């Protein structure tokens, strides 16, 4: 590949990134991915990738680096629970035991809860409502397919529509 071709490729990728920095365009891209609409995807990237093979390479890049990046909330039981809060935690856990798949078979001691992340759901919602958890946001790296399968780009770049 000539240096001039590489420069054109980087310029086109930069223009695509500027295009998706608009929230409406990013929402459109997510809708395209969610609906597996190959025709719309090819039309979306056409102004930026006319060379053969750009559909697949742009799809992989956008899937792995743009659509899977962001932040995720993580929550764990607070480490400084009072005796009353500990009893409340045990009661809430017992109430949710029959409906929550994420609960352990038995209520563990505090030492095993220190690093246990509590998955989203009604159980976490109730623990939050009573101030029993500490939550924080963690950035996701964007590395990996996110919610889209590894074959998604192959499918979208060869399909003719939804």
Q: What is the mean pLDDT of each run of 10 residues along the chain (162 residues)?
A: 68 88 88 84 83 79 76 84 93 77 46 65 92 83 57 73 44
| Predicted local distance difference test score (pLDDT) of residue 92 | 93
| Predicted local distance difference test score (pLDDT) of residue 36 | 79
Give the domain ranges of the chain. 3-68+142-158, 71-140
* Longest Cα–Cα distance in the chain: 70
Q: pTM for this structure?
A: 0.51
Supply the DSSP string of 93-135, one letter for each residue: HHHHTTT-TTS-SSPPPHHHHTTPBPPSSHHHHHHHHTT-EEE
| Predicted local distance difference test score (pLDDT) of residue 148 | 66
How many Å is the Cα radius of gyration of the chain? 23
Residue 150, both tokens: 């590894």
């Amino acid at each position: 590949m000539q240096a001039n071709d590489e420069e054109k490729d980087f310029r086109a990728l930069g223009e695509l990134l500027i295009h998706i920095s608009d929230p409406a365009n990013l929402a459109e891209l997510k809708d395209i991915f969610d609906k597996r609409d190959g025709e719309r995807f090819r039309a979306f990237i056409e102004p930026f990738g006319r060379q053969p093979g750009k559909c697949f390479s742009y799809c992989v890049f956008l899937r792995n680096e743009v659509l899977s990046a962001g932040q995720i909330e993580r929550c764990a039981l607070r480490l400084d629970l009072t005796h009353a809060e500990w009893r409340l935690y045990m009661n809430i856990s017992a109430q949710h035991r029959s409906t929550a798949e994420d609960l352990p078979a038995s209520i563990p001691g505090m030492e095993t809860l220190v690093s246990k992340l509590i998955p989203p759901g009604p159980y976490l919602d109730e623990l939050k409502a009573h101030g029993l958890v500490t939550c924080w946001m963690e950035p996701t790296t964007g590395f990996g397919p996110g919610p889209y399968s590894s074959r998604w780009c192959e499918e979208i770049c060869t399909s003719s529509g939804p």
